[in-house]
Structure formats: structure tokens, C-alpha cells
Amino acid sequence: MVEEYGPVTLYDSEWLRGNLLKDGPFRGDLPAETRADDGFFPAEMLPEGKDVVIARVDLGSGARADAPADSRVLVQSLILAATFPEDQHGWELYEGYIHVADGACGWKVFSLLDEDIDARMPYGPMDITAKRLSEMAPRVAPHLASGLANVSGVVDAIGWWKASGVQPPHASVLLDVRILETVATAVCGHGQTWYGYLDAFHKNSWIRRSMTSELFDVVWHARDDLHGWSPQEQEAITTIHDKLLRHRNWESRADMAQVAVELPSLAAALPEHTLQHRRTAAAAHRISTPAGVRVWYTDLENRWTRTLGRLRLVRNALAHGGPVTAAAAASVAPVVHQLAGGALLSSLTALAEGTPVADQHEAHRDRCDAWARDRLSGSTAYKP
């Protein structure tokens, strides 16, 4: 009902309103400003409803030009940083506030920018936000207390990243490249380009993720057209499929090491001459030998070079007003959005762990480069 993260305390709205307005049993746990005998606190103004959370921000002592605005930044910082990158939508922040200082109280009526929020936002994403917040917020909170400057750059970029995810491709590409420019400067200094940073820090990470994604998709689609197969085939395929995939909180995951082991069995269980069998058998063969993995790596490396080159061309054309088709922008928008998100995740991890941002990016790069060297050595088969 009450969770404290540095200067920000979160209250369940029903719990808070119940204790404030209905003389609930936990009035002793309420904020001091709501219980002052000689003060006035407009509790009736607090928004109510399912999944409404009230944030209280303690800004300490000292004069501020705009205390409500500073409070809003801290709350946004906590939510954005703690829920990135899993939750791209989730909670919506109300407009409005109640400001108490030196016994005086001022307020602005609470309202949602999108009045149809209840109609369009399922509660599942809100639940994901709450879960992620409980996991990450304790790591982020200490940095909120030290001041806005420490978090503003990363949090602003996370806000841009979430905004770019719902923009048309043209705008999305420009916004995500702007994020990469910001990260590249923070990591490498002003002498590095955004595309140079990507090639140096993210190529092998992208290749590794592409391998994982392709194998995951093979398993995910193995049951396509299941209804057209025999009962025995359906049972065998479903058993392996369900063994490999785990579903939790709107997410599906797989142990990729186990996927690599089970792919031959899955291919054998699938009916011959089906698309699913051909895809699964090809994937199993590709990762069965070190030479096959090395060829796969080289193919993806070439694809990376082409993709990065196309992204540069599209971005430059957009930035300089040149003609860019919607299809061209759409072809690179998902890639650059993913890359920008990965770059921000390393920066956020550095913030949460209190380490230099460059060190975190370099550590991630070094892990992926070591993985790539192992794949290219020709001495090992596929390892995720």
C-alpha cells in the first residue's frame, strides 16, 4: 500500500483516500501534512479508481522556482528509469498536484491528458509497470535523492525512446538517432559519430541477438498449422514446444541452450514437406557444427553492414530534407529503435550501479566481442 523510494513515496489511491476521508485504521501512517490540525489538505481532490497510485515527493528545505515541476521530474524519472525497457506504455501521469510548504497549501486539479485512458489501456501493461517498478526502483531511488542533474540526461533520453516507439517511421528514425548521438557523446566524447559508436559497441551484440531471435522464432512458429496434422504429431510437437517456451506476465521466454539441444528432436517431430519442418531442420543443421555457426555469423555481419549503411542514408536524407519513402524509413525504424534502447539500457545500468557510463558500455561490448571470437574460432558449436 505504501512504498518509499528515496524522496518519492507511492500510495495506493484507495488506501490513501480510505484513511484520509473515511477515518481508516492507518491514519498514523499518513504523511504529516495530511494530518495537521491547523492545516487544510484537500483530500477530496485526489484521483480515485482502479490502479491509481498517488506519489508524494519530499523536496526537503530550501526555495525552489517551481516545486511542482521539480516533483514531476522526479516521479517521471523514477517510473521511466525503473520500468525501462520492458514497459513501453504502462502508467500514465496525471496533470495536477497538491503542494504543501510552510503550512500553506496550493493545488491544481488532477486530470488525465487522455480522457479515454481506461478504454484504451488494458490493465496488463499497468501490472507489468508495477512489477518492474518494485524490482528496479530501489536501485534508481538513491540517485534521485542526490539531485536532478544526475538522472535528467538518461531519463530524458528514455522519454524520447518511448515517444519514438509510437511515432511514424520518419520521425522515429530521427528521434532514435538523436538518442544515439547523445549516448555516443557521453561514452566516447565529441569525436565519435553515432554510427561509429554503433559499429564499435553494438555490432556483435546485434549479431548475437539476431541469432537468438531467429532460433526463438523457429520454436515459436513450430505449432503454426497444428490443426492440420495427425493427433500423434500434434502431441509430440506440443510437448517439445511447451517444454521450450515459458510464458509469464505477457512475456514468452526460452532457454536458448535448451533450444539448441532440442531443435533436432523438434524437426524430427514435424511433418515433412511443411514450412515448419524445413525451417526447424535448417536451423538445427546451421548450429550443429562450428563451421556452420561461423558461416551464420559472417552472413549476419554482412547484413549488419548493409543495415547500418542503409540507416545512415535514410537518416541523412531525412535530416537534410531529401526524399525518403515511407517504406525506406520503415525498413530501418525497428532496428534503430532496438539499438537506441540497448544503448540506453547500458547507460541506465551505469546510473543504477553508480559506475562510469563509459565503463558499462565497454563491459557490454567486451562480453559480446568475446562471444564473437569464440564463435569465429571454429572450435565450438552454437552457444547463446
The pLDDT tens digits of the residues spanning 158-183 come to 778 877 877 889 999 999 999 999 99
Task: Say what angle helices 194-201 and 169-188 make with each other, to 10 degrees.
Answer: 70
Q: Where are the domains of the chain?
A: 2-147, 152-384
pLDDT at 88: 52
Nearest residue to 244 (alpha-carbon basis) of 209, 225, 227, 269: 269
Phi, psi of 166 (to 5 degrees): -115, 10
**Closest CA relative to residue 174, chosen from 337, 361, 64:** 337
Kindly report the backbone phi and psi dihedral angles of residue 253, in degrees, each rounded to the nearest multiple of 5, phi listed first. Answer: -135, 160
Give the C-alpha distances (Å, rounded to integers) separating 13 from 43, 56, 68. 11, 12, 19
Mean pLDDT by 10 residues, the chain (384 residues): 83 87 80 76 83 86 78 78 61 82 80 48 41 58 55 72 83 93 92 95 96 94 89 93 82 89 94 92 93 93 96 93 87 92 86 84 96 84 80
Q: For the whole model, what pTM was predicted? A: 0.70
d(CA 22, CA 97): 22
- pLDDT the model gives residue 115: 43
Amino acid identity of residue 217, one-letter, is D
Find the DSSP H helices in 149-229: 149-164, 169-188, 194-201, 203-220
Query: What pLDDT, on a 0 to 100 scale, did the predictor assign at position 117?
Result: 36
CA-angle at 104, arms to 101 and 107, nearest 5°: 85
